Structure 1
Amino acid sequence: MFRALKYRNYRLFFMGQSISLIGTWMQQIAMSWLVYRLTDSVFLLGMVSFANQIPSFLLGPFAGVISDRFDRHRVLLLTQFLFLLEASTLATLVLTNTVTIPYILALGVFAGIVNAFDMSARQSFVVQLVEKREDMSNAIALNSSMFNMARLVGPSVAGGIIATVGEGMCFLANAISYLAVLTSLLLMRVPKMERQRQDTQVLKSLREGFTYAFGFAPIRDILLLIATLSLFGMPFTVLMPAFARDVLHGNASTLGLLMGASGVGALLGALYLASRKSVLGLARVIIFASVLFGIGLTAFAFTTTLFLAMVSIFVVGLGMILRMASSNTLIQTIVDEDKRGRVMSFYSMAFMGMAPIGSLLAGWLAERIGVSYTLLGCGIVCLLSIVPFVLSLPRSRQLVRPIYQRLGILPEIANGLQTASGLSSPPEGGKM
């Protein structure tokens, strides 16, 4: 389950990111609570999320070109330092009681611009930290475990801190946490990658990456699936403060418990994926996870007690990470190395770029029909979104089969090494 940790660079990356992500989740919870406390507006909750994430949608393709052309290690050092500056500025404004919504929106846009370049470089950089390709899926799954362990710890800690000393200390803790990831990056010994010489025209590189990603059905189908989840599924996190306070009649600690329950579900899903030894069968995991997510979100929409809300959001978290991490693993497995940065930038666009549009729409809709009905609609759409993926799956399997044969994945199954999960398939199947 933890075989990717045997690589020194990945181990450093894992430790640094683990600390930093706890701070990130603390800031996210504190930000949501601060905005709702200052404004009592669900729409402004969506607007802040929109400002923070829309740059990923607009700049994603350009970030992919940068990731393919420049040293990803150096790009990450720069982006993490800029995140440190942003968090420090926000902490100063809140602790001195000078923070306003325009400041929050401006800093959100700045962080979103940095995040567009950070996500593309980080998603592509992980592959460089693992020497053996067969351990790549484990590294991606452990990344998801790390992310969701932080989501379990961060919101719970943030809820207690907000209730006792206020939101400012959460922002300060996040600023300090970036020192851990910067230290881990500086300690790495990353071998220089041989990069194919590429045309200097940025627009030509963008067009080449777009044609590759959306011209190859397996990658295109996964990207569309991720975009749908981000547009209609992810807004539940934006509406969580309103749900905790107005539906469950709770406080910041209630919000922390809900986010923590979601984190537990996501963590278990990520650990399951880390225990799998092959990418085969992940398409079926995606289908199951999509159904799980839709049902969980629909049930969560009409819960009125904290216990039932935590159970429902646990299911949502489980389904979400199984769908997202499985999709990430499949793309990383089949993409060509010289186009990895650009393809992962489209993944970032689908994941982070569509979410702000969904958040804005969900905030606007929730003020008109209520939080519960908005969440219900999101759950139903997420359930229906898996239908096109299921219909196109047989064709995608045929297209992926030659790639799996070239990578040696199918012979491994033929030797009977991957039967434990019950999701393996015969060598002639070539199933995703």
Structure 2
Amino acid sequence: MGESRLPRHSSRALSYRNYRLFLSGAIVSNSGVWVQTVALAYVIERLTDSGTWVGLAAMMQMLPAVGSGMVGGALADRFPRRIMLMITNSTQAFIALGFSAMWALGVDRPLAYVALGMVQGCVNGIQLPAWQAFVSELVPRGALLNAVTLNSAQFNASRAVGPAVGGLVLAVGGPAWAFLVNSLSYAPAVLALTLIRVPRLMPAGQDRPNIFKDAAAAVRYVSNHPGIRRATLIAGVIAFFGQPIIHLVVIFADDVFQVGETQYGILAAAGGVGAILNTPLVANWGSRVPRSRLIGLGWPVYGLALLGFALSPYYWLGVVALAVVGASHIMTAATLNTVIQMQVEEALRAKVLALYLMTLMAGLPLGAQLQGALADLIGPRVSVGGAGVLLAATALWWVITGRTKVLNLD
């Protein structure tokens, strides 16, 4: 998404070389992650024919990241984040290669894939706080809001590209090739990180990381800052009720719409497409519209669009509904992340972001497990539709009672 396609003030961060390198490597590697996400859900569903197993695989891939997230936050506030990211990206590439080898060798035990997913979750938990905090080293403070928005946009752009590519690769070559594509996608990210040169923002010579002490400090800091506290809570609610659809799309593709691998990839990519289409608007509004208003619009629409998807009688109507879900997601995710990035102190940035990410990584898999199990019991439409109703109702209550206004404080 080049500068010619966006208003100048909505692409300000792209004028900085380090940020352009970071963004270009990120979109390739994250696209690969989404290729693997649809492939792993496909493998689990094919081996078990169970929504409960699909939810379990999602949960066990993300819950370990909750435990390792504070470790990553503590490390990222003490050691060079660029070096950390080079190590974790390289490790992720080898894990993806392991998935590919397992399928190629005929491993058909779902627990084997869940176990390797847990290892990947641990590494991901260490990586994510450094990834989010590293953005503040790439641009000046005046461009940080725009950089955070574009970082969310690249994640959602990869969410559009990756599942579509994943569906195509699954249809043509099968899961082993999809996992291999993800493994190779980390090379551009590592190369970009190698080329980036940034000053060290964290003071040198700090004491050794103490995970419990750092976690307690992050909790105290968040508790004493209402904007950060409520942004974290909102993110957790959205993660629990809204984001599990990422993993449950495969159930709708197989059992509800009864389509093949390519159509599954399109369905999974729809949310990313919606996010891309809404990115210029969010980036343009970000510095001019109160953040409480952005959340007050994006959050309720998120729930209503999820309900619309659950009730969609036709495949292509479901695609459109998921695009609206994605458009709402970019508005809420970018805004909540910006609230935290703009309010947190540099010395605690990665630790506070780790706490925020832990909330997301706990909410999503727990929600996916619950909704997946309910899909087996009462059907996927009722399960996901009920989540949409609860998400929209919670959002409207927060907006009507004025609880989102504190997000405007810096």
Q: Is this a same-fold pair by TM over 0.5? A: yes
Per-residue Cα deviation, 1:41-100 (whole angstroms, up to 9, x for no partner): 111101110111001222322322222122111111111111011011111111232353
Contact 1:270–1:325, Cα closer than 8 Å, also in 2: no
Q: Superposition pairs for residues 19-418 of structure 1, below 5 Å?
A: 19-130=28-139, 132-195=140-203, 200=208, 201-276=210-285, 278=287, 280-386=289-395, 387-388=397-398, 391-393=401-403, 396=406, 400=409, 403=410
* Structure 1 pair 277–209 and aligned structure 2 pair: CA distance change class (3 A): closer
Contact 2:68–2:123, Cα closer than 8 Å, also in 1: no
Q: Shift of residue 396 of structure 1?
A: 2.1
Provide the identity percentage: 32
* Structure 1 pair 389–109 and aligned structure 2 pair: CA distance change class (3 A): farther
**Please, which moves more after superposition, 185-194 or 117-126?**
185-194
Contact 2:47–2:108, Cα closer than 8 Å, also in 1: no
Contact 1:223–1:347, Cα closer than 8 Å, also in 2: yes
Q: Shift of residue 392 of structure 1?
A: 4.8
Secondary structure of the structure 1 residue equivalent to 2:303: helix
Contact 2:286–2:335, Cα closer than 8 Å, also in 1: no
Q: Shift of residue 268 of structure 1?
A: 1.9
Contact 1:138–1:273, Cα closer than 8 Å, also in 2: no
Report the residue type matching 1:342 in the other structure.
K
Unaligned runs of 5+ in 2: 1-9
Contact 1:279–1:330, Cα closer than 8 Å, also in 2: no
Report the residue type matching 2:104 in the other structure.
L
Q: Shift of residue 231 of structure 1?
A: 1.0
Determine the C-alpha separation between the residues in 2 that align with 1:89 and 1:337: 37
Determine the C-alpha separation between the residues in 2 that align with 1:214 and 1:197: 28
* Structure 1 pair 110–74 and aligned structure 2 pair: CA distance change class (3 A): same
Q: Shift of residue 134 of structure 1?
A: 1.3
Determine the C-alpha separation between the residues in 2 that align with 1:273 and 1:395: 18
Q: TM-score when scaled to structure 1?
A: 0.88
Determine the C-alpha separation between the residues in 1 that align with 2:363 and 2:309: 22
Per-residue Cα deviation, 1:4-25 (whole angstroms, up to 9, x for no partner): 1111111111111111111111
Report the residue type matching 1:260 in the other structure.
A
Determine the C-alpha separation between the residues in 1 that align with 2:277 and 2:170: 27
Contact 2:163–2:268, Cα closer than 8 Å, also in 1: yes
Contact 2:70–2:126, Cα closer than 8 Å, also in 1: no
Q: Shift of residue 382 of structure 1?
A: 0.7
Contact 1:248–1:305, Cα closer than 8 Å, also in 2: yes
Per-residue Cα deviation, 1:174-203 (whole angstroms, up to 9, x for no partner): 101111101111111121224277565442
Determine the C-alpha separation between the residues in 1 that align with 2:102 and 2:267: 27
* Structure 1 pair 315–277 and aligned structure 2 pair: CA distance change class (3 A): closer
Contact 1:221–1:389, Cα closer than 8 Å, also in 2: no
Contact 2:278–2:327, Cα closer than 8 Å, also in 1: yes
Contact 1:57–1:354, Cα closer than 8 Å, also in 2: no
Determine the C-alpha separation between the residues in 2 that align with 1:153 and 1:94: 23
Bigger radius of gyration, 1 or 2? 1
Determine the C-alpha separation between the residues in 2 that align with 1:274 and 1:288: 15
Report the residue type matching 2:401 in the other structure.
L
Q: Shift of residue 280 of structure 1?
A: 4.7
Report the residue type matching 1:158 in the other structure.
G
Secondary structure of the structure 2 residue equivalent to 1:304: coil
In the other structure, the counterpart of 1:415 is none
* Structure 1 pair 287–161 and aligned structure 2 pair: CA distance change class (3 A): same
Kindly tell me the number of residue pairs found equivalent between the two proteins.
399
Contact 2:236–2:359, Cα closer than 8 Å, also in 1: yes
Contact 2:70–2:211, Cα closer than 8 Å, also in 1: no
Q: TM-score when scaled to structure 2?
A: 0.93
**Please, which moves more after superposition, 167-176 or 387-396?**
387-396
Per-residue Cα deviation, 1:140-170 (whole angstroms, up to 9, x for no partner): 1111221122111111121122112211111
Determine the C-alpha separation between the residues in 2 that align with 1:202 and 1:317: 35
Q: Shift of residue 362 of structure 1?
A: 1.1
Determine the C-alpha separation between the residues in 2 that align with 1:395 and 1:144: 22
**Please, which moves more after superposition, 264-273 or 80-89?**
264-273
